[in-house]
A and B are shown apart, each in its own frame.
Chain A
Amino acid sequence: MTRPGEEASVTSDFVRSYVITGGRTLPAPDDLALHTLVTLAPERTPPLGAGPEVMAIWELCAGGYLSVAEVAGHVGLPVGVARLLLTDLSEQGHLLRRAEPPRAQNVDRATLEKVLHGLQSLIG
């Protein structure tokens, strides 16, 4: 009955994402945008009964600021799902958030040249 090779390999994600969210409504993206930076607040202990995904996010965020998109990418979850878990952590006060740095203003060429010349004379 057991012929080797008969069993096809199964590669789809084992735990489906709606189970990870527990079927809850996903948060709107405006609160934690893709490029919002998050990190763990100092001296926090992981919430009791945290699932493996939350623990993975916890470990990722412990090392410094990461964007929401990066967190999702590294734990291998859809952004919306990662955002829900991050929102949970944030509501429990575990996360520090930082909006993305503002875009640099375009500076005219003359100013840049002046800076360049200044720097050249500095390094000399």
Chain B
Amino acid sequence: MTSLTRDPLLWILLVVLVAAVVAVMRARRTNMALRRTRKDLEAGLGEARGDVGQLHTHIAGLTAQHQRDLADVRADAEAATKAVLKSAMGTLQSLAEEQQVLLDGLLKKYGDTTDVLADLMTVDHTGSQFGRRAKGISVLCGGWLGRREGAATVYDVARSAQGRIRDFDRVGVHSQVNVSLIGKAVEPVAVVLAELLDNATTYSAPGTPVEVNIQTVPTGVCFIVDDAGLGMDQETKDRAAALLAVDGPVDITGLGDPPRFGFAVCGMLAARYGFAVSVGSVSPYGGVRAVIRVPESLLAAEVPAPAAPQDAEGTEAAPQRLAPVPVVGPSHVVGTTSGGLPKRRRRNGPVTVVPALDTAGRQETSEPASEVTASRIGAFARGTQLGRTTNTTEGPDNK
């Protein structure tokens, strides 16, 4: 036994054994500690993941809210801008209209002074373009165009539109149609046609013609605008189609800088008044063909008298003419003599024909002799009077 205890190997074995036990114990403790830590960490991770998920939903909510708020603010800003612009444009519109009325007067006043008249016409032309712009912006902001009393022929509508663009002398209007638009539709159609003509002249080479053809179709009447430009690419066509189909407020800030109002104005007015505008087919000249189709409901039943100013002045303003001097002519030949010479009627009226100023009955030769004499003396008196003054007296003689 002692030998055994003295055996160093045994002691070494014992020491190793103790050491191993201690090591195992420590390892086990460490392992357990690590397991605990891992569990803690896993729990923490799960928690953190949950938090992140929550945060994500929160952020999504906030973003949506933000978008909504932004849209609201934009809409508010747009509405406020539009309201301001509409009111400002209304002022400009009425000023432009005032200027046109003023120019109407001036054009007549200086009508005989060729130079002044020509200059006034250029001013008038600029004013008309200005008026169209103001009207366009006003319409996009929910404003109104102003209403024409009375119908206008489609030909006049086309010519009015023609007058509102810069290169009006490149436009040719061809109408075989004798149809009129009702007063309500006159300005909108003219403004839309002017926008289409403006596009057509702007996007085609200078000097090339732009044609307006007016045709009746079973459902109304069509204004067809053809230009000889390069046509539109697909992107422009899509943009035009989108703007023309719009039925509601237009985002005026999205029209570019400089803003291109044209198609937006067309779409807006077409929707508001119930006619149709289409752009995008190819014109016979290789350019763009734009068509306005006005339905029958916007056509007037009756054609207005061709010369409106005449009607306005009423019946008393019937032109007071100098009748052609009754020179001996074919009208007085009443037959032929046996010799083949023309037989003429004896003239029994006064030679110089002077318009009767006071009575409607003139040259009544079957009156009693004294009245004939009186009327001749009257005619003589009027004749000398007329000879002294010029015969350019204007307006009716209110005697």
Contact = CB atoms under 8 A, between A and B. Distances in A.
Interface in A29-55: 29, 34-35, 37, 39, 51-53, 55
B310 A75 contact: yes
A79 B187 contact: no
Interface in A1-60: 1, 6-23, 25-29, 34-35, 37, 39, 51-53, 55-56, 59-60
Secondary structure of the B contact surface, majority rule: helix
Interface stretch (B230-238, B275-283, B321-329): B321-329
Nearest to A52: B306
Contact of A14 (B114, B168, B186, B384): B186
A72 B310 CA distance: 11
B373 A56 contact: no
B69 interface: no
Given A11-B101, A14-B186, A80 B117 contact: yes
A80 B147 contact: no
Nearest to B146: A10
Contacts of B101: 11-12
B156 A15 contact: yes
A28 B128 CA distance: 26
B307 A65 contact: no
B97 A12 contact: yes
B21 to A, nearest CB: 96
Interface stretch (B103-111, B218-226, B337-345): B103-111
Contact of B307 (A6, A34, A76, A81): A76
Contacts of A25: 118
Interface residues of A, number: 59
A78 B111 contact: yes
A81 B107 CA distance: 9
Interface stretch (B77-85, B158-166, B254-262, B288-296): B158-166
Contact of A34 (B94, B112, B148, B322): B112
A16 B125 contact: yes
Contact of A70 (B107, B147, B319, B390): B319
A74 interface: yes
A23 B394 contact: no
B124 interface: yes
B309 interface: yes
Nearest to B101: A12
B201 interface: no
Contact of B117 (A9, A74, A78, A100): A78
B387 A100 contact: no
Given A10-B148, A18-B121, A35 B391 contact: yes
A17 B148 contact: no
A5 to B, nearest CB: 10
A29 B114 contact: yes
Interface string B282-317: 000000000000000000000000111110110001
B169 interface: yes
A17 B97 contact: no
B144 interface: yes
Contacts of B209: none
B299 to A, nearest CB: 17
A8 B144 contact: yes
A93 interface: no
Contacts of A34: 112, 392
Nearest to B99: A12
Interface in B119-173: 121-122, 124-125, 128, 142, 144-149, 152-153, 155-156, 159-160, 162-163, 168-169
B390 A100 contact: yes
- Among all A-B residue pairs, the 9 with the closest Cβ atoms: A76-B309, A78-B111, A79-B111, A104-B387, A12-B100, A56-B307, A10-B146, A64-B321, A16-B163
